[in-house]
Amino acid sequence: MPSDATAAGTTAAGAAAVPEGEARSLVAGHVLEFPGGYTRTTGPVIGRFLTELRDGRIVGVRTAGGRTLVPPLEYDPDTGEAVTGEFAEVGPAGTVESWSWVSEPRPAHPLERPFAWALIRLDGADTALVHAVDAGDARAMRQGLRVRPRWKAARTGHITDIESFVPEVTRIVSPVRTEYRVRPGKALARFLDGVARGVFIGCRCGSCGKVYVPYRLSCPECGVAITEEVEVPDTGTITTFAINNLPDPRAPEVPFVSAYILLDGSDIPMIALVGGVPAHEVRQGMRVRAVWVPEEERTASMSNIKWFAPTGEPDAEL
């Protein structure tokens, strides 16, 4: 028992003449290591297992009852009889039966990064083998996980000839990227011309009389071409809204209010950000005005509008 031996050694080292009581606080390091390591004979069964490991194969031994023990034992633990001497190659893949995550590996561990100790039942075996699984993350571990050995290049006939087991490939990453050159088109370009100057350009359908903002070239209701351009003010009414609490790196900081804003003189709401007011004070019917970024920062883009902020007028009837 190494720990008992260490304790005994420490007591002996601290047995010098020191005042009573002080000895209890003494600490000394101590190493117990047989020089060069113990030499151990393997016997024919374990020896065969290790010899096969050195060749990159894993074998088990058959019992008289027909079970395959991996790693092999010299005697059948169920019956006490000798095993048959018949060896069978198993694996190399296997299934994790149980596991425990090592988040801070120790120097003697097979891997320097976090890993799992797992009971792995290799294909064709009736018993499970303990080994390390290099899974990267504890969330990747589960009962039933399929794993395969990762062999060391230089093998000596030792269980560590298998550096660790690794999960089978069940997933690939498939990058998809398409690059576009986007032009706004005639209608949107016209609208953005206005936005660049701080005005909203819309249009009126000659057939149904509805005013659309942003500017467009045809009426979605009537299907006719629209020719009449109109400028609408940058004030309007919040018809309805959502308070967004789900953070997204591409979105404004949460909570943010995305609202349907019906600009005065327009017949269709636009979806825009509401600011300058706490999210929970936004109301349906609230009157708002666009807050434009300073002129020198403007581009032909909707980002010219910082957000819509309350005007302070009484709420509109919906």
Residues contributing to the site for other proteins (CB under 8 A): 170-171, 174, 176, 182, 184, 188, 192, 208, 210-212, 220-221, 239-246, 248, 250-252, 255, 258-260, 267-268, 271-273, 284, 300-303, 305, 318
CB of 133 within 8 A of CB of 147? Answer: yes
Whichever of 56 and 220 has its CB closer to Zn ion, that residue is 220
Burial of residue 31 (CB within 10 Å: 0-12, 13-18, 19+) is exposed
CA distances to 170, 241, 245, 256, 273 from 280, in Å: 46, 11, 12, 10, 14
Restricted to residues 185-244, the positions that interact with Zn ion (CB under 5 A) are 205, 207-208, 219, 221-222
Strand intervals (E) in 137-255: 146-151, 162-167, 200-204, 211-212, 228-232, 235-244
Under the binding rule (CB under 5 A), the answer on residue 18 touching Zn ion is no
Strand intervals (E) in 162-255: 162-167, 200-204, 211-212, 228-232, 235-244
273 binds, among Zn ion, other proteins, none (CB under 5 to 8 A by kind): other proteins
Output the six-digit token pair for 208.
Answer: 């149904």
Output the six-digit token pair for 204.
Answer: 């009126």
Cβ at position 244, least distance to Zn ion in Å? 33
3 binds, among other proteins, Zn ion, none (CB under 5 to 8 A by kind): none
3-class SS letters over 270-285: EEEEECCCCHHHCCCC
Whichever of 111 and 187 has its CB closer to Zn ion, that residue is 187
207 binds, among other proteins, Zn ion, none (CB under 5 to 8 A by kind): Zn ion
258 binds, among Zn ion, other proteins, none (CB under 5 to 8 A by kind): other proteins
Whichever of 157 and 252 has its CB closer to other proteins, that residue is 252
Cβ at position 240, least distance to other proteins in Å? 4
Under the binding rule (CB under 5 A), the answer on residue 301 touching Zn ion is no
CB of 270 within 8 A of CB of 214? Answer: yes
Whichever of 222 and 300 has its CB closer to Zn ion, that residue is 222
